[in-house]
Every structure is written in C-alpha cells, then in structure tokens.
Amino acid sequence: MILLRDAALDRGTELTGEQLELFRIYLDELMDWNKHINLTGLRHRNRVVVELFLDSLMPVPYLPERGRLLDVGTGAGIPGLPFKICRPGLESDLLEPYSKKVSFLKHVIRLMKLDGVEVIRDRIEKGNKRLDPNGYDVITARALADLAQIIKWCVIHLKVHGKLVGFLGRNGEEALERNRQMMNEYGLEPTQIIRYLLPGRGSERTAVILEKIAI
C-alpha cells in the first residue's frame, strides 16, 4: 500500500491510514476471488494496485464530496469502489450484469463495512428502473465501451451540472476530438482533461470529466 499512498499523493490524492486499510482488504479479496472467477486479467498485486486502483484515483481530486454516483459496468468495482473509499459521502450505485461479480462486490462491500453502496444486477442499455429517477451527480464507466456509446447510455441519467467521468486510455485526445460534435449535441462540456503517467508505464493516459451544462 506504500506504492499506492505515495503515487496517489504525487497525483493529488492524499489517502488516510483508514483508506489504505480499505484498499488492502479490497486487494486481498480481489486477488483471492480472482483465482476462482475472472474479475480481472491482472494476476500480480502491484499491477492491480497501479493499473486498477491508482488509475481510478486520477479523477478523484475533481469529484464532489457528496451526491449520488453511478458506476456503469463496474465489474470488480472499478472505479466505483475506489471513488467511494476516497469520497465516502457519495451515495453509490454499482451496476453490473454478471452474478458472480455481483456476489464479489456484495461480499467485499460488507467486509469493508462501506455504507451507502448498492449493487444493482442489470445493464445500462435496458434503461434500468432501479436507477435513481432524479439522476446522478457523478456517472462513470471504465473499459465498458467507447466514449460515444458511454455518452448515449449515460447522459439521460446525469443531472444538469453533473459530471460524466471517462477513462480514455492512450488515445484520449483523439477520442475527445472525434466526439466533439456529440458532446455538443448532448450538452456536455469537458471541464477537466487529466493527462497522467502510471508508475512503470511508458504511455501517457487521459481521463476526462464532462459536465452536463444543458438538458
């Protein structure tokens, strides 16, 4: 956890001892469950810490302290659970269609004793009726689909002035330019473009926060 603590601090997020302990529990359970069900293709602890946990923390300095969060296609809880650990005031819905991953999420949430987190077994494209009808302050999706598809699925559930957090990987600038017209059509404006390097990784990555400025 020293690697996570120091690298997160270098990138603007200070983790408390309690938060680091939650990440430790999360890591232990993820690695254990991953022996039996496919939660992630990463098999080494340091790679999980860097490529899942630390990568998820890049947008955290720009997230609100309170509000409602939706993580679409959360899988093993990435980035929804790291967001929740760092922003405990965010009431969080984790949307995941696969029952084994849902079981893991419910287990690890109980173990970490996190309040204000609900796991919903379903798909975003079904227009799920269990999602908050009043919308969300933060919506994110990581490794689910390209930016255009994420916008189409998610923007209807986003409050005005809410934030859509996208992880664009190595070709972030191209993705933003390619979807500029769509963002305009859906009333989205990029308010933060976060460029970063992960420890031991040579290619720059990009995350973006799109604010919904119109209905």
**Domain architecture of the chain: domains with CATH:** 62-212 (3.40.50.150)
Q: What is each CA distance from 57 to 11, 66, 171, 194, in whole angstroms?
A: 9, 17, 19, 11
- Nearest partner of 150 among 138, 132, 165, judged by Cα: 165
Q: What is the pLDDT of residue 89?
A: 97
Q: What is the pLDDT of residue 151?
A: 94
Residues of the chain with pLDDT under 70: 127, 215
Taking the C-alpha atoms of residue 168 and residue 208, their distance in angstroms, rounded to an integer, is 7
Q: What is the pLDDT of residue 8?
A: 95
Q: What is the pLDDT of residue 127?
A: 65
Q: Structure pTM?
A: 0.94
Q: What is the pLDDT of residue 192?
A: 95
Taking the C-alpha atoms of residue 72 and residue 79, their distance in angstroms, rounded to an integer, is 9
